[in-house]
Amino acid sequence: MKKYILVLSTLVFSASVFLTGCPGPKKTEPTPQPKPSKVRYEIIQDQQSAFTGRTMPLPDWLMAALQGSLLQYGTDPEGKKVVYFVIIEKSKNLDLAKQNAKLNVNARIAESIQTLVTSEAAKVFEGDQDTYVQYIQGAIGILAKNVKIIGLIPVNEYWAELQEYLEDSPRDKYYSYAIRYQMDSGTWKQLLSGAWQQTKQQKPDIPEEAKKKMDNLIKQLSESL
């Protein structure tokens, strides 16, 4: 059964922008603003409709991921504090999308960690952009790669076959697959703190004051559950 879902159209479009990379900043010019292209998506089938004929509502964890929160804090069914990582891949073939999601898990998690730490570090170093750009920005990329991903448990997944339209003209047809992994809070704290200690050893030129600010930031992020 085919269904049109306006919310899904907007969210999946934002996810595709995230996965393919956002364009760089545009130069300020007195040119007319282009009208937004009318891109929409039609669900051909999803993991529920393939068996029942009715599509399922998007789960909350996926909606949050499509809006940019690929790293999420929460609790497991037993009430223990955990971190969730969401990986989203798309492909012409469903099995290939699933395979890519599992093969690329380390790289995707590193990207989500880098995004989180970059956002928080920018606030910490506001007004001190020379130090941030010269020392910290590069260190964050190293930090993300230094996180040794262990202790992941797959807990949720969702897939849908989508038909993309521009105006009323059909364009690409592909599968979008999302998988959600869980990591306990203790493992997350050890991995993030350990990665930062390793990063400081690899970049001994970071000024002491900048190190102290980042020490506090990493501690806050690792204990913010």
Mean pLDDT of 96-115: 94
Structure tokens at 209: 């004051």
Reported as a pLDDT band with limits 50, 70 and 90, residue 224 is confident
Structure tokens at 20: 């393919």
As a whole-number percent, the residues of the chain with pLDDT over 90 amount to 67
End-to-end CA distance of the chain: 41
Residue-wise pLDDT for 13-58, tens only, equals 334 433 333 333 344 455 556 666 688 888 899 988 878 888 888 8
Whether the full predicted model's pTM is greater than 0.85, yes or no, is no
